[in-house]
Amino acid sequence: MPINSRILNLMEEVRSGRCSPEEAADHIGGLRLEEIAGVARLDLGRSIRCGIPEVVLAEGKDISHLIEIMRRYVEASGRCVASRATEEQADAIMNAASDLICEYYPEARIVILSNGTEKPENGGTVGIITAGTSDIRVAEEARIIAEEMGCRTLTAYDVGAAGIHRLFHALKELGDADAFIVCAGREGTLPAVVAGLVDRPVIGVPVSVGYGYMGKGEAALASMLQSCAVLAVVNIDAGFTAGAFAAQIASGVRKE
Amino acid sequence: MPINSRILNLMEEVRSGRCSPEEAADHIGGLRLEEIAGVARLDLGRSIRCGIPEVVLAEGKDISHLIEIMRRYVEASGRCVASRATEEQADAIMNAASDLICEYYPEARIVILSNGTEKPENGGTVGIITAGTSDIRVAEEARIIAEEMGCRTLTAYDVGAAGIHRLFHALKELGDADAFIVCAGREGTLPAVVAGLVDRPVIGVPVSVGYGYMGKGEAALASMLQSCAVLAVVNIDAGFTAGAFAAQIASGVRKE
Amino acid sequence: MPINSRILNLMEEVRSGRCSPEEAADHIGGLRLEEIAGVARLDLGRSIRCGIPEVVLAEGKDISHLIEIMRRYVEASGRCVASRATEEQADAIMNAASDLICEYYPEARIVILSNGTEKPENGGTVGIITAGTSDIRVAEEARIIAEEMGCRTLTAYDVGAAGIHRLFHALKELGDADAFIVCAGREGTLPAVVAGLVDRPVIGVPVSVGYGYMGKGEAALASMLQSCAVLAVVNIDAGFTAGAFAAQIASGVRKE
Amino acid sequence: MPINSRILNLMEEVRSGRCSPEEAADHIGGLRLEEIAGVARLDLGRSIRCGIPEVVLAEGKDISHLIEIMRRYVEASGRCVASRATEEQADAIMNAASDLICEYYPEARIVILSNGTEKPENGGTVGIITAGTSDIRVAEEARIIAEEMGCRTLTAYDVGAAGIHRLFHALKELGDADAFIVCAGREGTLPAVVAGLVDRPVIGVPVSVGYGYMGKGEAALASMLQSCAVLAVVNIDAGFTAGAFAAQIASGVRKE
Amino acid sequence: MPINSRILNLMEEVRSGRCSPEEAADHIGGLRLEEIAGVARLDLGRSIRCGIPEVVLAEGKDISHLIEIMRRYVEASGRCVASRATEEQADAIMNAASDLICEYYPEARIVILSNGTEKPENGGTVGIITAGTSDIRVAEEARIIAEEMGCRTLTAYDVGAAGIHRLFHALKELGDADAFIVCAGREGTLPAVVAGLVDRPVIGVPVSVGYGYMGKGEAALASMLQSCAVLAVVNIDAGFTAGAFAAQIASGVRKE
Amino acid sequence: MPINSRILNLMEEVRSGRCSPEEAADHIGGLRLEEIAGVARLDLGRSIRCGIPEVVLAEGKDISHLIEIMRRYVEASGRCVASRATEEQADAIMNAASDLICEYYPEARIVILSNGTEKPENGGTVGIITAGTSDIRVAEEARIIAEEMGCRTLTAYDVGAAGIHRLFHALKELGDADAFIVCAGREGTLPAVVAGLVDRPVIGVPVSVGYGYMGKGEAALASMLQSCAVLAVVNIDAGFTAGAFAAQIASGVRKE
Amino acid sequence: MPINSRILNLMEEVRSGRCSPEEAADHIGGLRLEEIAGVARLDLGRSIRCGIPEVVLAEGKDISHLIEIMRRYVEASGRCVASRATEEQADAIMNAASDLICEYYPEARIVILSNGTEKPENGGTVGIITAGTSDIRVAEEARIIAEEMGCRTLTAYDVGAAGIHRLFHALKELGDADAFIVCAGREGTLPAVVAGLVDRPVIGVPVSVGYGYMGKGEAALASMLQSCAVLAVVNIDAGFTAGAFAAQIASGVRKE
Amino acid sequence: MPINSRILNLMEEVRSGRCSPEEAADHIGGLRLEEIAGVARLDLGRSIRCGIPEVVLAEGKDISHLIEIMRRYVEASGRCVASRATEEQADAIMNAASDLICEYYPEARIVILSNGTEKPENGGTVGIITAGTSDIRVAEEARIIAEEMGCRTLTAYDVGAAGIHRLFHALKELGDADAFIVCAGREGTLPAVVAGLVDRPVIGVPVSVGYGYMGKGEAALASMLQSCAVLAVVNIDAGFTAGAFAAQIASGVRKE
E184 domain-assigned? yes
The better pLDDT of the pair D234, F32 is held by D234
**Is residue F130 domain-shared with residue F247, that is, in the same domain?**
yes
pLDDT at position G140, please? 97
Whether the predicted pLDDT of G138 surpasses 70: yes
**Is residue E147 domain-shared with residue E107, that is, in the same domain?**
no
Beta A179-184 vs A232-233: how paired, if at all? Answer: unpaired
| Secondary structure letter of residue C53 according to DSSP | P
**Is residue A53 domain-shared with residue A141, that is, in the same domain?**
no
CB F216 within 8 A of CB A220: no
CB neighbour list of residue D90: distance below 8 Å, 6 or more residues apart? D104, D106, D111
Q: Is the interface score ipTM higher than 0.90?
A: no
Residue D254: pLDDT band by 50, 70, 90 thresholds? low
Residue C162: pLDDT band by 50, 70, 90 thresholds? very low
Whether the predicted pLDDT of B187 surpasses 80: yes
G3 domain-assigned? no
Q: Which residue is closest to F211 within chain B, CA to CA?
A: B236
- The verdict on A242 touching D (C-beta cutoff 8 Å) is no
Q: Give the number of domains in chain D.
A: 2
Distance from CA of F97 to the nearest CA of H (A): 27
Residue among D118, F122, E224, F232 nearest H180 (CA): F232
pLDDT at position F29, please? 47
pLDDT at position A2, please? 29
Q: Which residue is closest to E190 within chain H, CA to CA?
A: H189
- The verdict on B63 touching F (C-beta cutoff 8 Å) is no
Considering A114, A144, A167, which residue would you say is the last residue of a domain?
Answer: A114
Mean pLDDT of chain E: 81
Average pLDDT over residues H30-59: 47
- State the CATH number of the domain containing residue G133: 3.40.50.1970
Q: Which residue is closest to E37 within chain C, CA to CA?
A: C189
H92 domain-assigned? yes
Distance from CA of F134 to the nearest CA of B (A): 7
Per-residue model confidence as pLDDT tens digits over A40-55: 223 333 333 344 667 8
Distance (Å, rounded) from C-alpha D154 to C-alpha G26?
78
Average pLDDT over residues E52-81: 84
The better pLDDT of the pair F105, H162 is held by F105
Per-residue model confidence as pLDDT tens digits over E171-201: 777 878 999 999 999 999 889 888 877 889 9
DSSP string, A195-217: HTT-SS-EEEEE-S---STTTTT
CB H221 within 8 A of CB E207: no
Query: Which residue among B210, B219, B226 places its CB closest to the CB of D215?
Result: B226
Per-residue model confidence as pLDDT tens digits over D24-48: 665 554 443 333 332 222 333 343 3
Average pLDDT over residues E150-177: 73
Distance from CA of B12 to the nearest CA of H (A): 6
Q: Which residues of F18-29 are buried (b: 16+ CB within 10 A; e: fewer)?
A: ebebeebbbbbb
Q: Residue H57: enclosing H or E segment and its boundaries?
A: strand H54-57
pLDDT at position F52, please? 59
- State the CATH number of the domain containing residue H103: 3.30.1370
Do residue H189 and residue G33 have CB atoms under 8 angstroms apart?
A: no
Average pLDDT over residues A61-79: 87
Interface test with G, best of C211, C223, C236 (most G CBs within 10 A): C223
Residue among B100, B36, B108, B48 nearest B70 (CA): B100
Mean pLDDT of chain B: 81
The percent of residues in chain G predicted with pLDDT above 70, rounded, is: 77
Residues of H in contact with E223 (CB under 8 A): 187-189, 219-220, 222-223
Determine which of A15-19, C24-28, E8-12 has the lowest per-residue pLDDT on average: C24-28
Q: What subunits touch chain C, counting only 3 or more CB pairs under 8 A?
A: A, B, D, E, G
Distance (Å, rounded) from C-alpha C133 to C-alpha F173?
64
Residue F196: pLDDT band by 50, 70, 90 thresholds? confident
Residue A160: pLDDT band by 50, 70, 90 thresholds? low
**Is residue A134 domain-shared with residue A100, that is, in the same domain?**
no
Q: Which residues of B173-183 are buried (b: 16+ CB within 10 A; e: fewer)?
A: ebbebbbbbbb
Per-residue model confidence as pLDDT tens digits over G10-19: 667 777 777 7
**Is residue D109 domain-shared with residue D156, that is, in the same domain?**
no
Whether the predicted pLDDT of C230 surpasses 80: yes
**Is residue C210 domain-shared with residue C153, that is, in the same domain?**
yes
pLDDT at position B69, please? 86
CB H31 within 8 A of CB H7: yes
Determine which of A77-81, F123-127, G5-9 has the lowest per-residue pLDDT on average: G5-9
Average pLDDT over residues F5-34: 60
Residues of G in contact with D60 (CB under 8 A): 133-134, 209
pLDDT at position H95, please? 94
The better pLDDT of the pair E102, F15 is held by E102
pLDDT at position F24, please? 66
Per-residue model confidence as pLDDT tens digits over B118-130: 988 888 999 999 9
B138 domain-assigned? yes
Residue A165: pLDDT band by 50, 70, 90 thresholds? low
Considering F114, F140, F164, which residue would you say is the last residue of a domain?
Answer: F114
Residue B32: pLDDT band by 50, 70, 90 thresholds? very low
Determine which of B166-180, E59-73, H99-113 has the lowest per-residue pLDDT on average: B166-180
**Is residue G206 domain-shared with residue G227, that is, in the same domain?**
yes
Average pLDDT over residues B156-163: 66
Whether the predicted pLDDT of H227 surpasses 80: yes
Query: Which residue among G41, G199, G201 places its CB closest to the CB of E245?
Result: G201
Angle (CA) F43-F45-F48 rounded to 5° is 135
* Most confident residue range from C244-248, E195-199, G59-63: C244-248
Residues of A in contact with H42 (CB under 8 A): 160-161
Whether the predicted pLDDT of B31 surpasses 50: no
Distance (Å, rounded) from C-alpha D52 to C-alpha D120?
9
Whether the predicted pLDDT of A231 surpasses 80: yes
A13 domain-assigned? no
Q: What subunits touch chain G, counting only 3 or more CB pairs under 8 A?
A: C, D, E, F, H
Per-residue model confidence as pLDDT tens digits over D62-94: 888 889 889 988 988 889 999 999 999 999 999
Average pLDDT over residues E19-38: 51
Distance from CA of D171 to the nearest CA of G (A): 29
Q: Estimate the crossing angle of helix F87-96 against helix F63-77, to 10 degrees.
A: 60
Distance from CA of G56 to the nearest CA of H (A): 8
Interface test with H, best of A159, A189, A211 (most H CBs within 10 A): A211
CA distances from C251 to C39, C121, C213, D174, G170 (A): 24, 9, 39, 19, 45
Which domain does E71 fall in, by range? Answer: 51-114
Chains H and D touch (3+ CB pairs under 8 A): no
Q: Which residue is closest to G186 within chain C, CA to CA?
A: C226
F4 domain-assigned? no
Do residue F235 and residue E167 have CB atoms under 8 angstroms apart?
A: no
Per-residue model confidence as pLDDT tens digits over H121-175: 888 999 999 988 889 999 999 999 999 999 999 998 888 644 445 566 667 778 7
Mean pLDDT of chain C: 81
Residue H15: pLDDT band by 50, 70, 90 thresholds? confident
The better pLDDT of the pair G190, G102 is held by G102
Query: Which residue among B197, B229, B249 places its CB closest to the CB of A249?
Result: B249
Do residue D196 and residue C37 have CB atoms under 8 angstroms apart?
A: yes
pLDDT at position F145, please? 95
Determine which of C111-115, F130-134, G94-98, H235-239 has the lowest per-residue pLDDT on average: F130-134
CA distances from A181 to A134, C149, F127, G87 (A): 15, 51, 36, 50
CA distances from C11 to A16, C5, C33, D198 (A): 12, 10, 17, 21
E31 domain-assigned? no
Whether the predicted pLDDT of C13 surpasses 60: yes
Considering D114, D148, D173, which residue would you say is the last residue of a domain?
Answer: D114
Half-sphere exposure of D155 (CA within 13 A, CB side): 22
Residues of C in contact with A29 (CB under 8 A): 7, 32
Interface test with C, best of E6, E32, E39 (most C CBs within 10 A): E39
Q: Which residue is closest to F41 within chain E, CA to CA?
A: E161
pLDDT at position G18, please? 79
Determine which of B179-193, C164-178, E177-191 has the lowest per-residue pLDDT on average: C164-178
Per-residue model confidence as pLDDT tens digits over B58-74: 887 888 888 988 998 89
Residue among C247, C125, C234, C134 nearest C184 (CA): C134
Distance (Å, rounded) from C-alpha H185 to C-alpha H134?
8
pLDDT at position A31, please? 41
Per-residue model confidence as pLDDT tens digits over F54-102: 788 888 788 888 898 899 889 888 899 999 999 999 999 999 999 999 9
By the 10 Å C-beta count (0-12 exposed, 13-18 middle, 19+ buried), E167 is classed as buried
pLDDT at position D32, please? 38
Cβ–Cβ pairs < 8 A, chains E and G: 147
* Most confident residue range from A8-12, B37-41, C21-25, D229-233: D229-233
Q: Residue B110: enclosing H or E segment and its boundaries?
A: strand B110-114
Q: What is the 3-state secondary structure (H, E, C) of chain G?
A: CCCCCHHHHHHHHHHCCCCCHHHHHHHHHHHHHHHCCCCCCCCCCHHHHHCCCEEEECCCCCHHHHHHHHHHHHHHHCEEEEECCCHHHHHHHHHHCCCCEEEEECCCCEEEEECCCCCCCCCCEEEEEECCCCCHHHHHHHHHHHHHCCCEEEEECCCCCCCCHHHHHHHHHHHHCCEEEEEECCCCCHHHHHHCCCCCCEEEEECCCCCCCCCCCHHHHHHHHHCCCCCEECCCCCHHHHHHHHHHHHHCECCC
**Is residue A133 domain-shared with residue A200, that is, in the same domain?**
yes
**What part of F 118-177 touches G (C-beta under 8 Å)?**
none
Distance from CA of H92 to the nearest CA of F (A): 26
Mean pLDDT of chain D: 81
**Is residue A220 domain-shared with residue A132, that is, in the same domain?**
yes
**What part of E 4-23 touches D (C-beta under 8 Å)?**
7-8, 10-12, 14-15, 17, 20-22
| Secondary structure letter of residue F3 according to DSSP | S
Per-residue model confidence as pLDDT tens digits over G87-115: 999 999 999 999 999 999 999 999 999 99
Distance from CA of D46 to the nearest CA of E (A): 19
CB G231 within 8 A of CB G192: yes
**Is residue G93 domain-shared with residue G188, that is, in the same domain?**
no
**DSSP SS3 for D184:** strand
**Is residue B139 domain-shared with residue B245, that is, in the same domain?**
yes
Do residue A30 and residue D162 have CB atoms under 8 angstroms apart?
A: no
- The verdict on E101 touching H (C-beta cutoff 8 Å) is no
CA distances from C197 to C200, D37, G75 (A): 9, 10, 58
Whether the predicted pLDDT of H29 surpasses 50: no
- The verdict on E2 touching D (C-beta cutoff 8 Å) is no
Residue G198: pLDDT band by 50, 70, 90 thresholds? confident
- The verdict on H223 touching G (C-beta cutoff 8 Å) is no
**Is residue C130 domain-shared with residue C230, that is, in the same domain?**
yes
Determine which of A236-240, E92-96, F175-179 has the lowest per-residue pLDDT on average: F175-179
Beta G101-105 vs G110-114: how paired, if at all? Answer: antiparallel
**DSSP SS3 for B117:** coil
Residue C8: pLDDT band by 50, 70, 90 thresholds? low
Interface test with A, best of C12, C28, C33 (most A CBs within 10 A): C28
- The verdict on B229 touching C (C-beta cutoff 8 Å) is no
Average pLDDT over residues E67-81: 88
Whether the predicted pLDDT of A161 surpasses 60: no
E38 domain-assigned? no
